[in-house]
Amino acid sequence: MDAVADRPDPPVREMEAASLSIDPALEPARPRTFIKSIVSGEVGVLVGQKVVVGGWVKTGREQGKGSFAFLELNDGSCLSNLQVIVDAAVYPLSELVPTGTSVLVEGELKKPPEGTKQRVELRVEKVLEIGPVDPAKYPLPKTRLTLEFLRDFMHLRARTNTISAIARIRDELAYATHTFFRQNGFRYIHTPIITTSDCEGAGEMFQVTTLFSDAEKLEKELQQNPPPSESDVEAAKLLVKEKGEVVSLLKSSKASKEEIVASVAELNKAKENASKLEERYNLKPGLPQKDDKIDYARDFFGRQAFLTVSGQLQVETYACALGNVYTFGPTFRAEHSHTSRHLAEFWMVEPEIAFANLEDDMNYAENYVKFLCQWLLDNCREDMEFMVKNYDKTAIERLELVSSMPFERISYTKAVQLLVNVTDRKFENKVEWGIDLASEHERYLTEVIFKKPVIVYNYPKGIKAFYMRLNDDKKTVAAMDVLVPKVGELIGGSQREERLEILIKRIEDSGLPLEPYEWYLDLRRFGTVKHSGFGLGFERMLLFATGIDNIRDVIPFPRYPGRADL
């Protein structure tokens, strides 16, 4: 099934023949024009140009009694398709029209007849390559498919309008993130994925291990090469004893030096053999045990290791050296949550700022979220309009609102007062000072009371992590959450406790052991600084921006209980 036709193979022969001292005169590859630059270009400039375009057929239909075909071609560079016209004389049309077919075509851009919606269309002169599709077997027919259905086709779903639009929005948000932090003097730090620290001390963490594969290897090895029996070991030990006696005998009988040396060599050989046999005899199949527990000293890192739940503690070590830093990478929770809001693997953006208090933290958080929203408005209109049309009428309005309005800032205490006084709505979770706000409360604050983003700060210490700075009231900590319409909590942050003794007490009060945090305490022992930071759940931001309901659809390869496709 060599489906790819017509286009010459890579010019490997020319390369072979090239002389060594001169750069080989490689035939330049035919440059491909992105459909994005065609559909957004100036018609006057485009018409008459010869271009090579590659992509996948969204819809194709034969026209004029089979004399030509229209193809709606998409190459993923943008949402729009390019209208492509192929004459039957150029290529067998029936092979071109099935949805999902790939083509690389060469032709001339033309102005379509008056009254058609296309600004420009491509008249094909040559089909350079084609990757066919059997429509009877293609899992993604032209009909509209649900996002849930597509989750069973992780490897093909990027070819749909929705998933490719989300991918482009995700890419834009990632680049906007790097741009924002760079503009503000932050350095990007790659915090570790495999960790021996538990940031929250709370964690449902995934364990990382080679013990299973080591045990399998050992088991195979023992099958192929069975261990010695007890009597083999005894015999080897006996041999050592005998050889030892020979050495003693030779020595006491003042034998020649050569004789003694030779006998010692034999003794050593016997000893080595006995110890090897004994070692192999003691090999037990299965996982290594010590005192009836798994012996993690035999694991890859010599101890238990986990997937990180947050890069915060580690990135603090860089904030306390480089000032403004951030990490942006995958984080993990082994929670058995089957909700539309949780993933086992998700991406987090975590800036950390030296010499910054909670207020600085809130300012950075607000500016960052605004920047992301404005970026999408400026760089992602077409995909955002698609979301508005198909998923969430208010998606663009929400971006405009958030990018332009100052966020409300209220203390937790005030937030609780407001919620207690709510009469038009019955909450499932009772509100009183000291509770962790539930999603229903958060959304009520931002969607109903304020109708814009709200930053709630100064939470009760009992519901927040040990590293958050204790306020003077001794009851609250300098924590803040940014709540936005549609998703509720988008960002959680805090000023970190920079005072050594208070931090030690907070760790102890949380019931955590001090020893694993000694390195963290060192940051306070040696040149401590006030510092603050926050974390933005990247997929939450995507839900907020796109209006998509299920978090499994805004990450390319979702991981959740029971599922890790590909």
Give the DSSP H or E segment for 121: strand 121-131
Of the ranges 4-12, 40-48, 380-388, 389-397, which one interacts with its own copies (CB under 8 A)?
4-12
**Binding of its own copies at residue 330 (CB under 8 A)?**
yes
* Residue 220 burial (C-beta neighbours within 10 Å; 0-12, 13-18, 19+): exposed
The span from the first CA to the last CA of the chain, in angstroms, equals 25
Longest CA–CA span in the chain (Å) reads 117
**Binding of its own copies at residue 41 (CB under 8 A)?**
no
Query: How many residues of this chain interact with its own copies, rule: CB under 8 A?
Result: 150
**Binding of its own copies at residue 320 (CB under 8 A)?**
yes
What x-and-dash track marks residues 389-408 binding its own copies by CB under 8 A? -----------------xxx
Of the ranges 31-39, 236-244, 251-259, 425-433, which one interacts with its own copies (CB under 8 A)?
31-39
Indicate the residue among 115 and 286 with the shorter CB distance to its own copies: 286
What x-and-dash track marks residues 502-531 binding its own copies by CB under 8 A? x----------------xx-xxxxxxxxx-
Binders of its own copies among 442-471, rule CB under 8 A? 457-458, 471
Contact 72, 56 (CB under 8 A): no
Residue from 88, 156, 255, 264 touching its own copies (CB under 8 A): that is: 156
406-440 in b/e form (b: 16+ CB < 10 A) is ebbbbebbebbebbeeeeeeeeeeebeeebebbeb
Q: Taking phi first (over 0 means left), then psi (-120 to 50 degrees means alpha), and beta for anything else, what does residue 489 get?
A: beta
**Binding of its own copies at residue 498 (CB under 8 A)?**
yes
Contact 434, 401 (CB under 8 A): no
Nearest distance in Å: CB 229, its own copies: 23
- The residue with tokens 């390559």 is 129
Indicate the residue among 65 and 293 with the shorter CB distance to its own copies: 293
Which token pair is 43? Answer: 């018609």
Q: Tell me the pairing of strands 121-131 and 187-188.
A: unpaired
Of the ranges 220-228, 331-339, 386-394, 505-513, which one interacts with its own copies (CB under 8 A)?
331-339
Of the ranges 42-50, 110-118, 429-437, 497-505, which one interacts with its own copies (CB under 8 A)?
497-505
Indicate the residue among 54 and 535 with the shorter CB distance to its own copies: 54
d(CA 100, CA 88): 20
d(CA 175, CA 355): 26
Nearest distance in Å: CB 371, its own copies: 16
* Residue 112 burial (C-beta neighbours within 10 Å; 0-12, 13-18, 19+): middle
Report which DSSP code applies to 445: I
Residue from 185, 241, 272, 339 touching its own copies (CB under 8 A): that is: 185
**Binding of its own copies at residue 210 (CB under 8 A)?**
yes
Q: Find, among 102, 101, 106, 109, the residue nearest to 128 by Cα.
A: 106
Q: Which residues pair with 126 in a beta bridge?
A: 106
Binders of its own copies among 211-240, rule CB under 8 A? 212-213
* Residue 9 burial (C-beta neighbours within 10 Å; 0-12, 13-18, 19+): exposed
Residue from 80, 81, 83, 101 touching its own copies (CB under 8 A): that is: 101
Nearest distance in Å: CB 407, its own copies: 8
d(CA 352, CA 319): 6
Q: Tell me the pairing of strands 289-290 and 293-294.
A: antiparallel
**Binding of its own copies at residue 285 (CB under 8 A)?**
no
Give the DSSP H or E segment for 480: strand 476-484
Nearest distance in Å: CB 267, its own copies: 33
Residue from 42, 428, 432, 472 touching its own copies (CB under 8 A): that is: 472
Contact 52, 32 (CB under 8 A): yes
**Binding of its own copies at residue 191 (CB under 8 A)?**
yes
Nearest distance in Å: CB 58, its own copies: 11
Neighbours of 273 (CB within 10 A): 13
**Binding of its own copies at residue 365 (CB under 8 A)?**
no
Residue from 39, 55, 97, 441 touching its own copies (CB under 8 A): that is: 55
Of the ranges 15-23, 64-72, 419-427, 428-436, which one interacts with its own copies (CB under 8 A)?
15-23
Residue from 5, 6, 29, 284 touching its own copies (CB under 8 A): that is: 29
Indicate the residue among 124 and 277 with the shorter CB distance to its own copies: 124
Indicate the residue among 88 and 156 with the shorter CB distance to its own copies: 156
Q: Find, among 115, 112, 102, the residue nearest to 60 by Cα.
A: 102
Of the ranges 80-88, 163-171, 246-254, 272-280, which one interacts with its own copies (CB under 8 A)?
163-171
* Residue 271 burial (C-beta neighbours within 10 Å; 0-12, 13-18, 19+): middle
Binders of its own copies among 537-566, rule CB under 8 A? 555-557, 559, 561-566
Contact 308, 195 (CB under 8 A): yes
Residue from 245, 397, 501, 509 touching its own copies (CB under 8 A): that is: 501
Binders of its own copies among 408-427, rule CB under 8 A? 408-411, 413-414, 418
Contact 55, 38 (CB under 8 A): no
Which token pair is 304? Answer: 């238990």
Nearest distance in Å: CB 401, its own copies: 15
Neighbours of 235 (CB within 10 A): 13
**Binding of its own copies at residue 206 (CB under 8 A)?**
yes
Indicate the residue among 267 and 350 with the shorter CB distance to its own copies: 350
Indicate the residue among 9 and 258 with the shorter CB distance to its own copies: 9
Nearest distance in Å: CB 431, its own copies: 17
Alpha carbon separation from 174 to 94, 111, 328, 460 (Å, rounded): 41, 37, 9, 33
**Binding of its own copies at residue 131 (CB under 8 A)?**
yes
Indicate the residue among 462 and 561 with the shorter CB distance to its own copies: 561
Indicate the residue among 267 and 541 with the shorter CB distance to its own copies: 541
